[in-house]
Amino acid sequence: MYRLKNAGFQGLLVGGGVRDLLLGREPKDFDVATDATPEQIHELFRNCRLIGRRFRLAHIRFGREIIETATFRGSGDGGESDDHSLNDEGRVLRDNVYGTLEEDAWRRDFTINALYYNIADFSVIDYTNGMDDLRNGIIRLIGEPEQRYREDPVRMIRAVRFAAKLGFRIHEQADEALFELGHLLKQVAPARLFDEVMKLLMSGIGLQTFELLRHYDLFRYLFPMTDEALSHEEHDFPHILIARALSNTDARIADDKPVTPAFLYAALLWDPVRLRTEKIIKEEQLHVAPAMQRAVASVISEQAECTSIPRRFSLPMREIWGLQSRFRHRYGRRAKSLLAHPRFRAAYDFLLLRAEAGEEEQELADWWTHIQEVDDSERDKMLNSSQGSGRQRRRRSNPAKKRDTRKNHA
């Protein structure tokens, strides 16, 4: 900001950084607004990269931190141009019309995000009464809610996220429009929605956000297969599994422990995978493993049409799911190889989650917990003991009944 100021430009802190500082919270990132054009910003900062076509932005890197720097946006009231265009639904396709500080404030999404900190006189600039809404705990859209949601449907998700994060209530008009315009999310690119889902569910407020998304019927546009499964809960366990996965993720984030989107996505999509696997087994008489492979491929493909899933996450998800049936083999080389599998820990944590939700036997989860706690000699005894009892069970069991059991645990 001082470099911009010394070069004759305005440079103000804006958005969530100002909002969180005023609330006594620690900001996770900082955004800067300026009257310098992206090209002028690029000339001032060698560590700058210009990005975006829809909104031209400058990313200025300081070590591992990126400061997003945007030129003041104009009103765009001049209609269609090479720098400003809308689609038939009113969604902004391109917006590189530059303007004044006041115009920029009125173009922002929520009043509490339209506060500027000015280093010229150390003041907070507020054109939209954002300070009043901040004091009163209100999420209020700037302008007419339906129009603003149509301009950018992601604003609906952001409204829910801020309400969950800050404990604020969404203003009545903006609240009502959420129930009516969820279908607009279908227009948003899956890659962008994936980024938004990460902010929704991986910021330490996942459980509250999930409940609000379902309240406003927005969750089904992000995870349609999961939402369908939740509408047909079996003994409540699908909802419990997702809620526990989100709660565990929130707790790990609060304790500053690592979390991975792969595990959370595995929980969110497990029930569609499980149900589709059972359907394939029943209709095509396939064994569990090939049926699950087909189910997994189709579920991931369909989900990617809503929110994209990068390969670095989809591959661990496949392994976590695929290892679940192997936990039922508690003897010999199968169990030993499972213990040595590089994805064992994540798969084991997922097993615990399923047991907590009542989907899997708690005794099975306890056995795999215990075998990790004992020494090598005791572990060998457990594996050999299980091998012997397993052979006896196989001699006494009915093959047809055994196949049915495998289906039940798909």
- Strand pairing class (169-170; 138-139): parallel
Structure tokens at 350: 């997922």
Selection from 115, 211, 203, 198 nearest residue 160 by Cα: 211
**Catalytic annotation present for 109:** yes
**What are the structure tokens assigned to 321, written together?**
């799911």
Say if CB 338 and CB 220 are below 8 A apart: no
Is 31 among the catalytic positions? yes
- Which residue is catalytic, options 31, 126, 133, 271? 31
Choose, from 95, 104, 109, 271, the residue flagged as catalytic. Answer: 109
Identify how many contiguous H helices and E strands the chain contains and give both numbers.
21, 11
Q: Phi first, then psi: what are they for 56, rounded to 5°?
A: -80, 120
Options 29, 195, 366, 404, the catalytic residue: 29
Asked if residues 225 and 216 have their Cβ atoms less than 8 Å apart, the reply is no
Contact 216, 177 (CB under 8 A): no
Distance of CA 171 to the CA centre of its chain: 24
For the question of residue 126 being annotated catalytic, the response is no
Residues paired with residue 61 on neighbouring β-strands, in sequence order:
66
Report the candidate in 248, 252, 243, 233 with the shortest Cα–Cα distance to residue 207: 243
Task: Specify whether the CB–CB gap between 14 and 116 falls below 8 A.
Answer: yes
Q: From CA 136, how far away is CA 143, in angstroms rounded?
A: 19
Cα angle for residues 28, 32, 34 (degrees, 5° grid)? 175
* Distance of alpha carbon 302 from alpha carbon 24, whole angstroms: 42
Q: Indicate the helix (H) or strand (E) that contains 45.
A: none
Q: What is the DSSP letter of 182?
A: G
List of residues 6+ apart from 135 with CB closer than 8 A = none
Which residues face 70 on adjacent strands? 33
**Positions of E strands within 53-163:** 57-62, 65-71, 84-86, 92-95, 115-118, 123-126, 138-139
Three-state DSSP class for residue 188:
coil
Give CA–CA dist 227/13, Å, rounded: 39
What 3-state DSSP class applies to 83?
coil
Catalytic machinery residues:
29, 31, 109
